[in-house]
Structure 1
Amino acid sequence: MKIISALLILTFSTALTCRADVISQTVDFGTVTGGSQFYFNQFNTALGTLTGVTLDWTVNSSISTAEITNMNAGTVTVSRISFTNTVDGFVPSIGTSGDLIAEVAKSKSVTPAGGTVTLTSGESYTVNNITFSGFTQSDSYTSADANFSAFQGTGTVPLYLANTFGATPTASGSGSTTSWLTSITGSTTGNLQVTYTYTAAPIAPVPEPPSILLGFGGILGMAGFAFKRRAKNTPAAVA
């Protein structure tokens, strides 16, 4: 009977298995012109134990049209305009209340056609189709991080993306450092890929019918052998 018990223990102890796995989801930013709130799903702990979170950012920004207006008292000559774009990502957040975990700061200088442009007081200059270089960033989190628990549950994690543009002219002339009025229309596209790494909860695989028959056939065979051996070694009763 000890042989039968050992076989049963071996059979059922190997039925439960654990494995490492990953779940990924992507948040598409669409077209962001200012600030936008997004959400992605938390990791459901019913699936197992969360061990890591990776956030992979992809950001691309461009300005469709930008206008600068000379607000100085005199005439100025503009030789260059430095355009800037800043994209900030906050998780977990409602607006900018969360942790700043991604910050994109890009700039691009534009020289007016012909090298310079002269603007009288109140006159404007327009530039179109300015594209900034793309940006990628990867952030990783483990259970040691303060907000790790925010990624776990059956709800969502709030993500906020803030997008701002700016323009700084380089100019010479009367009062050229006093004041500029800028009007910029730009947008950001891209996405955030969220990857959860976890240890899956133990699962009990269901064996196929032939495997079940083979397993129990082996157990019964071993039991019969043990019983026969025990009967052979038992002394005959004296009449």
Structure 2
Amino acid sequence: MSLCRFALRHTAVEALRGQTLVGDNVKNSDFRALDIAADGALRDNSDKPFILIYTDDATVGGMGHPTLWENGIVELVIESGIAAAMGSFDEETGETTFTGYGVPATDTGMEAALDIIDRQVAMTLHGDGEWALLFAHLHDGITKIERKRATLSDSGTRLAARQIRMWVDAKADPAWGAELAPAHYAKRFEAAVAGTDVEANVAALLGPADAPMSYEQVRARYGLSGDVASALVPAALYPGGAPVSEIRWLVE
């Protein structure tokens, strides 16, 4: 698992919760929460308009030093969906609307709702909220954006969905157990999730810092051959393994 990809998904979800028409119904790679009901309608656990965020393919190119810590260009996908079956019927007006959104549950209304959500996603992720700023710190820019739509009308069910695919130039993962400055994105993310249910995941992805390292660990961390690792950290100087800080100085 990549730490930066994990952080991209998590920060995007936290940034968007409560900031769009879907309210808190923003899901992190939770495909099981979405299902097709018996009547053919797309439903989720709360039967409300939703946003689903996940990371897809990633490509690394033009690498000067081959390590698997690089994330390269990562596809971050933000899907939103709304179905007529998610609306509420008002007996007085005879109209079906999405409760709390003021949008009629019609084809035009659903498309308008997706346009609003799309706009709200952009405004939020470019905003100055704590999670949005951390999300921006995880990448060096967006290289490409695609927007796709899907509609379904079957068995009387109307569904409208929108997919935003953005290719972000994701930061590289820190090397396992590396000493990191407080301003490093990984340390900022670690602090942001402290005390939450993902804190243990982040700790496992970072590894213990500044422990003495064997030559095999040096080689694995920096993607070096055994000969190069031995040349950088001579056994005679560090018979018990070299401190992380000194190895970083030698390699970088």
TM exceeds 0.5? Answer: no
| TM norm structure 1 | 0.27
| TM norm structure 2 | 0.26
Q: Which has the higher contact order (CA 8 A, sep 6+)?
A: 1
More strand by share: 1
More helix by share: 2
